[in-house]
Amino acid sequence: MAPQPGPPRARIAFSDSAAKQLEHITSEAEIHALGRALVVVSVDPDVGEPIPGDTAGPQLRQYTDDIEHVRVLYFVTPLRTVVVVAYLEV
């Protein structure tokens, strides 16, 4: 019997500032670390912690991967698209 597929992953998009950060990533270790964090967030967009602030717009969240030592700041749109605002090394 074939395993049942899980829920669909969220689509990942990048803000302009996050896209500029990506242009400067050159090492395979950094690419791997970011890829790992993005997979976690795409599977469960609610995994990150909410960042307190203005409630007028989408809730800004942060996901920290303690193994790869990265933090991703993002928000989730009403259509469940994850928009990455920034990628930071911890």
d(CA 40, CA 81): 14
Q: What is the pLDDT of residue 4?
A: 66
Q: Give how far the C-alpha of residue 44 lies from the chain's centroid of Cα atoms, to the nearest Å.
A: 10
Q: Return per-residue pLDDT of the chain as tens, 90 residues.
A: 666 677 788 899 999 999 998 888 888 988 899 999 999 999 999 999 998 877 777 889 999 998 888 999 999 988 888 898 888 775
**What structural domains and CATH numbers belong to the chain?**
12-89 (3.30.2310.20)
Q: What is the pLDDT of residue 2?
A: 66
